[in-house]
Amino acid sequence: MADAGGFARAAQRLGVATSSVTRLMDALEASLGAALLTRTPRRVSLTDAGVAYVEQIGKLLDELAEADESVFDSGASPVGVLRIAVPSAYGRLRLAPHLAAFLAEHPRVTLDIVVADHYADLAAERIDVAVRIGVPERDANLVVRKLADNPRVVVASEDYLARGGTPAAPEDLARHECLRFAYGGSHRARQEWTFRRDAGPDTRVEVHGHLLSNNIDMLLEATRAGRGIALLPAWLVEADVRDGRLVRLFEHHEARPHDIDAIVYAAFLPNRRQSSKVRALLRYLKARVGVASE
């Protein structure tokens, strides 16, 4: 009724007589003791009480639909809406190329992709699976599955190296303009990049620079423009290195922006364990994203 704009149209959608819809609405308003509709000769619209009622009923209907879908989705064949949260750059480069094939393989699944560089609240935002990059949270309310490693590489443009010189060893970075990612949104904390070669000890270098950002694409563009040296994920810069837009430094070192290795992982709520569509997505991503990121 609220969407149809009138009794006749609502009745037509439902395939019943207009008089039946009228009687049902009269009975509902009588039972609630409140007017839900404002009736004029040309249009029927919701009252304030009607708007509030529709909002609450809508939530209940969504929950009921979700409960119905969970029953269907517990079977062998994935079915229903699969809501995924992904970081913007990783989603664009690593996930998007594989989604069409996933849908072709699972035609009864509808993907709802939420691009979010923050850690989405899975319960509040009704997220089935969140693809994340970092150190998995120790949270009893989340199930975590590793998808891939997340190797980092040090890169710079030919233009920057021609102007500032090519560092011969990681320690030389202390004298260079380094583009830094703002981990945890912090812009004041000192930042060390950690290097390891073969089985040798870690080398920690405190880096400095005039550009700090919590957006990885911003750092990539600044690196391409010759603004400095950056420590970025291999999956983000591999095409630039291959095509000569960026030069990789310290190829024989493992590099990290901190002491703990970050990974690419999937997080989901425990009540999604038995979901066929979630299990199908995890298998699919592990097979493709994991191989591609190694």
- Residue 252 sits in the same domain as residue 177: yes
- Same domain flag for 251 and 161: yes
**Residue that is written with structure tokens 């819809």 in the block:** 21
Task: Give dist(CA 233, CA 154) in Å, integer.
Answer: 9
Structure tokens at 154: 């040090």
Question: What single-letter DSSP state applies at residue 261?
Answer: P
CA angle 284, 292, 83 (to 5 degrees): 40
| pLDDT, position 68 | 47
Residues 168 and 252 grouped into a single domain? yes
**Residues with Cβ < 8 Å from 235, sequence gap 6 or more?**
90, 93, 94, 150, 292, 293
Domain presence at residue 225: yes
Q: Within the chain, which residues score under 70 in pLDDT?
A: 1-8, 10-11, 13-14, 21, 41-42, 50, 53-54, 57-76, 184-189, 290-294
Asked if residue 255 lies in contact with residue 231, where contact means CB atoms within 8 angstroms, the answer is: yes
pLDDT at site 165: 96
Domain shared by 88 and 46, yes or no: no
User: Residue 72 domain-assigned?
Assistant: no
* Strands of the 109-115 sheet, one edge to the other: 109-115, 80-86, 129-134, 263-268, 143-149
Q: Report the 10 Å Cβ neighbour count for 223.
A: 24
Count of structural domains within the chain: 3
Residue 23 belongs to some domain of the structure: yes
User: Please, are residues 19 and 10 in contact by the beta-carbon 8 Å criterion?
Assistant: no
Q: Quick check: is 284 in a domain?
A: yes
Q: For residue 78, what are the CA distances in angstroms to 3, 50, 119, 213, 277?
A: 31, 37, 26, 39, 4
Residue 214 sits in which domain range? 152-256
User: For residue 272, is it within any domain?
Assistant: yes
In this structure, the answer to whether residues 90 and 210 fall within a common structural domain is no
Which 3 state secondary structure label does DSSP give 256?
strand
Pair (239, 266) in one structural domain:
no
pLDDT digits (tens, 9 = 90+) for 19-64: 776 787 788 778 878 787 777 766 777 787 767 766 776 665 455 5
- Which residue's structure tokens are 């839900």? 36
Residue 236 and residue 201 share a domain: yes
Predicted pLDDT of residue 6? 65
d(C-alpha 89, C-alpha 95), whole Å: 9
CATH number of domain containing 106: 3.40.190.10
Q: Are 156 and 252 in the same domain? A: yes
- Using an 8 Å Cβ cutoff, are 281 and 188 in contact? no
